[in-house]
Every structure is written in structure tokens, then in C-alpha cells.
A and B are shown apart, each in its own frame.
Chain A
Amino acid sequence: MSPPPAAAGRTGPFSGGGRQKGKDPKAQITALDGIDIEIAPGQIFGLLGPNGAGKSTTVGILTTRVRPTSGTAWISGHDVWREQIAAKRLIGVVAQRPNLDFSLTAREILTFHGAYFGLNAHDRNERANALLERFKLTDRADQLVRGFSGGMMQRMSIARAMMHNPQVLFLDEPSVGLDPQTRLLLWEIIREYNREGRTILLTTHNMEEADALCQELAIIDHGRIIARGTPRELKASIPGGYLLRLRFGSHSAELMGRLGALVGVTEVRADGNSGADVYASRGGALIPEIVSAAAGVGVELSDVHISEPSLENLFLHHTGRSLRE
């Protein structure tokens, strides 16, 4: 079977949950509640949400590892549950917790994984060497992974998922526990893999990562998708998404009133001294108007700091809670 040139992940509205072990056999935890997403081929798609939002369950359902209580998931036209083998050929999965084969060396993990997917011995060795090199693991290639550090195990897991060159790569919280340098290496590798036309779905609760890496995002909370779009679109969707921290030569109540009347400003918070926080739908474009408003009351603008709309603000806006809570 030759895989299609590009693969799309698609799910019908599905719900998923785990049966809770305990006295009441009917007790269920609903982890997902009617998720419906379609991911175009060749995208880096991010599922952003706090811990326990349902990200891993979504990945589990899309990768044959969790049976949805209702609904269907498709990978490139294959029903994930009914056509498991066809679906499994198209996907590579990096689980949230490292699950490397502790009885094998780094190189053997890659070559056996390749063998499961039918690669011949020559291709297996060649690809394993290339991946070990790319993930900077060549010098540890022939050691048992048992003794690897957390970051090395994570790199190994990602290398293994790429070993059979899957059309769709699932990464569940790929950069948790990685040092900043390795995280940048990982981002570079993910972008590179995407440029080869592969689809990537990653989950994260790190806004910086979602912003830097993903072409499209879905924000998930309590098992529901609460917003979806490009990082830019999502950020632009927050009213007053920009925050301008201003400092003036002196305090003026009249100036605060004038700032509040400017087009696009949603809220002005004076700090009681000579500063003010202005929430607005525009950023730098507001500065000339602020300067002239200040000049109008005889006050000079001495310092400006503009922070762009962030996913943190977005999450806060949609849920009333911070991502980090």
C-alpha cells in the first residue's frame, strides 16, 4: 500500500472518557465532549490547553490508543478505529511519558521500530544513523537507553516516531523537560519535517511554543474546543488584546480621561503615580494619538512599552482562567 502524498487528520464530533476504577462501575470521567476538528495536510497544528483539558485523550483517539465513547476519527480517509492498521502506517506518535524499550540500545530501538514497519536492513541502518546524528545522540547510540537523561529519552522518542517517515506526526507535549537549547533543536527539526510536506499535530500548554511553531491552533479546555485559528487570528480576536504600559512626566486625571476616549482603547488603568496601563485593540498605531493627547494637557510621554496580544491573554479571555492555573 502506498501512502497518500499528504495526510489529513479529521475527526467527527467525538467524546471520550475513561471508566473510573472504583466501587461504582458506571462512574465515568468525560475527558472530551464533542470535539470536531479537521486538520489540513502539511500543517503544524497545535492543541493548546491546560493540563487535564483533554489534549492527550484527543491524541489517543487519533492514534488508536483510546477508544472514543462516541464519534469517529479519520486519518487521511481511514477510520482510525475500524482501519487501525492502515491508520497506524500513516502515523508516528510521541507519547507524553517516555516509553522507550529499556532492554534495547538507542540504535536498536530505531532499527527494530523500522523493522516493525517493514523497512529493510539497509534502509533501517541508514535512517537510524541519520536520525541519531540529527538528534545529537550518535555518541550514545550503542548504549542501553535505561541510563539516558529525561531530555535524551525525549529526543529518542521523537527520533523513533520519525523512523518510518510517517505522514502525520503526533507530539504530545514534546518539549516538557527539555532545556532551552534542545527545545530550539526540536522546533527546528519539527519545522524541517513539516517542510517535507508532513502534517504535525502537537499538544502543548506552552504559549510560546504554540505561537512560535504552529500554523494553526485550537484551544481546548474541559474537553471542548473553545477557539480555533492561526495564532495571529486568535490573538487579534481578543478585544483590546494589546497592552501599552505608559509613563508620563506627571500625573493628570484629565489625560486619563482623554486616553480612554481614543479609538480602540477598551480600558485605562492609572497606577496612581505618573504611569498608566492602556488595553487597546491597536498597538504602535496608538502612540501618535497618545503623544498628542498628552501634549494637549501639557504632559510629556516619557516611556512606552507595548506587549502584543498573547495566547495567555486569549486563554484568559475565553475561560476567565490563566493557562498556568
Chain B
Amino acid sequence: MNWKAFFALLGRDAHVARRNMVQLMLQTFLQPLLFVFIFGRVMVGSGYLPMAYKSLLLPGIMAMSMVFTGIWAVAMPLISEFQFTREIEDRLLAPIDIAWVAIEKVVAGLIQALVAGLMVIPLAWLILRPGLELHIADPLLFVAITLLVAGFSACGGLALGCSVDQQHIGLMFSMVMTPMIFFGCTYYPWSALSKFPILAKVVLINPLVYASEGLRATLVPQFPHLWLPAILGALVFFDLLLLFLGLRQFRNKAVN
């Protein structure tokens, strides 16, 4: 394994991310913070939603930001680098197995998703306090779930980025991302679906459900959430599945 080349590839992505810092920050944080402000502050402050909703909302927003960021950070560059600019070719010719070029993208996306997730907590806290009650009882569990969520978002970005054509980016967002977020238990806990038994079962194919519920289980355990081993199992499963699919798609795309 050529770690020198791997870290050089990662260095290139870090360099580009530093250069586009302002754009990246706006892209990552504007939408979640607006959500937090409207639902957590305006709706709760005006009495339409109970105070406890603040704490319930935060893990969902964190999950959404991480998943959005991870997918975006990996899929968007891949789509244009494979199609429009072909600039990925220089990296495919680097003296490293091409699977590692894809894994480097996943690691870069995972780091960005982690940064997004960890920064949403203090930013949302600034907007939401007082009344926000977070209890990280088990730091290790928090780290494990956060890593798994970042991992599946970056792997999902790889799978999507290598499957979607440039002209279908808009479609990808309206057909994949939007339903994923609304059926992802981001704004409500999974237990809220108990009155909709069919929907409650169908949403279980959505990996974002396990991200939201997992973060809820570690940040606000006072609320009902899915059974923890099931959450961990599902997150590991989706991480591996999307990584496998992503790498396969990447190879197909990279070699004619």
C-alpha cells in the first residue's frame, strides 16, 4: 500500500477544501441552521411546538447535515471529475491501486461530514438555548455512531457519484435526497410513526432513519428511540453495502 500517494491525494482534497472554505461553510451550515432557527426557535417560542422539541430536533438536524455534507462532498466532485473535466484521470494514473483513489474520496467526505456534524452541535446550541437538554452518557457510543453516520454518508456519496450522470444531478436531489430527509426521522422520532404502521416499516429501508435515531440515542436518550443494537447493526450494514457498491461502480467508471 502506497501511503505516500494516499496522503498526497488527501492533501490535495484538503488544499481545495481550504481554498473553498467560505463556500463550503455556507453550503454545510446555512440550511440546517435555518431549520433550527425556524423549528426550534420560532415555532417553539410562539408556542406551536413544546419546549422538549428543541432537544428532539437537534440530533435529527445533526444527522441531516452530516449525511448531506458527506454525500455532497464525495458525489459532486466525482460527477464532474468523471464526466465534465475528466480531471480524475491524473489521480487514476497515480502509482496506487484505483480502489484507494475511491477510498481517499470516502475518507475526505467522512472527515467533512464529521466536521459538519460536530459543528452543528455548538451552533444549534447557540440558537436553541435555553431549554436544550443534551446528555452524552456514553462518549464511546457517541463516537462510534458519529463515525458510522459519517461513513455511510461518504460511501453513499461514492455510490451515487459514480452512478449519476451530470444531467441528472437535479433529479438525484429531488428523487433521492428529499424523500430520504423527510422519511428519515429527522424532524420526528421513529416512535411518532406508530400511528402509521405501514410507513413505520417502509422507512426502515432508509439509512438516515438509523442515523437520526442513533444520534438521538446517544445525545438525548431521554426520548424514545430504536433499539440500540439494531441501530448499530443497520449502520454497519449500510456502511459496508454502500462502500461495496460504490467501489464497484467506481471501478466500472474508471476503466473502459
Contact = CB atoms under 8 A, between A and B. Distances in A.
Contacts of B11: 112, 115
Interface string B94-125: 11111000000000000000000000000000
Contact of A99 (B4, B86, B96): B86
Given A85-B95, A115-B11, A65 B19 contact: no
B255 A66 contact: yes
A103 B19 contact: yes
A230 interface: no
B246 to A, nearest CB: 20
Contacts of A102: 85, 87
A100 B87 contact: yes
A93 B90 CA distance: 9
B46 interface: no
Given A18-B256, A85-B97, A116 B86 contact: no
A88 B90 CA distance: 11
A91 B95 CA distance: 10
Contacts of A91: 93
Nearest to B7: A115
Given A100-B87, A108-B15, A117 B256 contact: no
Nearest to A166: B93
B5 interface: yes
B92 interface: yes
A108 B16 CA distance: 11
A104 interface: yes
B2 interface: yes
A93 B92 CA distance: 11
Scoring A88, A95, A109 by chain B CB atoms within 10 A of each residue's CB, the highest score goes to A88
B97 A84 contact: yes
Scoring B86, B93, B95 by chain A CB atoms within 10 A of each residue's CB, the highest score goes to B93
B87 A117 contact: no
A66 to B, nearest CB: 4
B8 interface: yes
A115 B97 CA distance: 16
Interface in A72-108: 84-85, 88-89, 91, 93, 95, 97, 99-104, 108
B9 interface: yes
Contacts of B4: 115, 118
A66 B255 CA distance: 5
Given A65-B256, A103-B19, A88 B95 contact: yes
Given A63-B93, A65-B92, A118-B5, 15 more contacts: A64-B93, A84-B97, A84-B98, A89-B95, A93-B93, A95-B89, A99-B85, A99-B89, A100-B87, A112-B15, A115-B8, A115-B11, A116-B9, A116-B94, A116-B96
11 contacts: A60-B256, A66-B255, A85-B2, A85-B97, A89-B95, A100-B87, A100-B90, A109-B90, A115-B8, A116-B8, A118-B4
Task: Report, nearest first, the 3 A-B pairs whose CB atoms are least far apart.
Answer: A115-B8, A116-B94, A99-B86
